Amino acid sequence: MPIEKASTELLALQETYAPDAFFFSEVNLNNQTMYLSELCQCMLDSGLRTPWGGFASLIGLSPTLIRLMAKAGCRYLQIGIESGSKRIRTRFNIFKVPNLPEVESILANLRAAGIRLNLYFMHGFPHENEREFAQSVDWLHRLSRYAATCVVSIFSVEPGTPIFLHPEEFGIRLHPPIHRNDSLAFLEPMFSLPKTHMVTIPFDEINGMNWAEKFSQNLRRQQSLQRFLTNEVYARHLLRISPCSPLYALKKKWFRPYFHYDVYL
């Protein structure tokens, strides 16, 4: 969408609906950093007051761009970290995540700018060993202190993806779908652990675990991560919001719920 058109529509939405925030959907905001920089400047020039956020990757989030985003009203980002294992990230074409010191530096800059973070992690990749899982847990421990909240999900095979189309290249054999309408179980501190972890398309690892073994491993790992998220991440989150909770409760009761307006660029 042309920048001027996006800015005009945002202003119209602001005046018409007075949302608490805008959420830019479907695409990482910084896929084109020049576009994002120009959009932020246009927001500043137009007088847009509504906070906004959306999905982002870690690539291209320079200190200068982060400061501009914050000045233009960016208050929250959702960022996929996925795995702490370099082998896993390379194998599954996750090139948006640099090394750990760089990640920590970027997240620290975002937090210092007042941009809240929701970080996404994943485990259960085909042939992911205990050492690689431990690397992801270490990243979760180290990076969660920069985040407002963290989400951990189990890897799943989705129709149309490279691993679905060429499973043997990734060392797996697919089973028929268990239940096409079941969503992937995930962990987020605000929710309790689901009792079952139904994924769309089960798989056996070639020369590795069968699906029953993989399912059991995923469940065990998910339960250990649940304890960490509940005892540490969620506890920190409650401490952060506790000074604001009376005002939030008052707004919920007397005015209207918080809502954001999805915007597609």
CA gap 50, 192 in Å, rounded: 32
Alpha helices by DSSP H, the chain: 3-17, 33-46, 63-71, 86-91, 100-112, 130-143, 162-165, 211-228, 234-241, 245-254
Helix (H/G/I), strand (E/B), else coil: 27: coil
Q: Measured between alpha carbons, how far is residue 190 from residues 150, 153, 228 in Å?
A: 10, 14, 13
Tokens 């485990």, residue located: 123
Lowest mean pLDDT: which of 143-147, 158-162, 191-195, 249-253? 191-195
Residue 132 lies in a domain: yes
Confidence of residue 243 (pLDDT cuts 50, 70, 90): low
Asked if residue 203 belongs to a domain, the reply is yes
Provide the b/e sequence for 94-113 (b: ≥16 CB within 10 Å): bebbeeeeebeebbebbbeb
Is residue 215, in this structure, part of any structural domain at all? Answer: yes
Q: State the residue range of the domain holding 60.
A: 3-12+22-263
Q: Which of 26, 28, 27, 224 is nearest to 123 (CA)?
A: 224
Each residue of 164-201: pLDDT tens digit?
Answer: 999 999 999 999 887 544 444 444 444 444 444 444 68
Evaluate if residue 10 carries a pLDDT over 80: yes
Residue predicted with more confidence, 265 or 38: 38
What's the pLDDT at 159? 86
On average, the pLDDT of the chain sits at: 84
CA angle (150, 235, 137) in 5-degree steps: 40
Question: Does the pLDDT at position 3 exceed 70?
Answer: yes
The answer to whether residue 17 sits within a structural domain is no
Judged against a pLDDT cut of 80, whether residue 260 lies above it is answered with no
**Percent over 70 (pLDDT), the chain:** 79
Task: Determine, yes or no, domain membership for 134.
Answer: yes
With respect to residue 151, please indicate whether it lies within any of the assigned structural domains.
yes
Residue 259 confidence (pLDDT) above 60:
no
Give a yes or no: residue 48 inside a domain: yes
**DSSP character string of 146-193:** G-SEEEEEE----TTSHHHH-GGGGTEEEPPPS-TTPPPPEE-TTSPP
Please tell me the predicted confidence (pLDDT) of residue 138. Answer: 95
Task: Give the number of domains in the chain.
Answer: 1
pLDDT at 146: 93
Give me 238's structure tokens.
Answer: 């409650």
Within a domain: 113: yes
3-class secondary-structure state, position 8: helix
CATH number of 78's domain: 3.30.750.200
Confidence of residue 39 (pLDDT cuts 50, 70, 90): very high
Residue 248: which pLDDT band, with cuts at 50, 70 and 90? Answer: low
For residue 54, pLDDT over 80 is answered with yes
Neighbouring C-alpha atoms within 13 Å toward the C-beta of 52: 29
**Whole-prediction pTM:** 0.81
Q: Residue 220 to residues 53, 94, 122, 217: CA-CA distances in angstroms?
A: 34, 25, 14, 5
The two three-digit tokens of residue 55, written as one number: 């999905």
Q: Per residue in 69-107, pLDDT tens?
A: 999 999 999 999 999 999 999 999 998 888 999 999 999
Longest CA pairwise span in the chain (Å): 60
Closest by CA position to 80, among listed 65, 97, 101: 97
Average pLDDT over residues 142-163: 90
**pLDDT over 60 at 29, yes or no:** yes
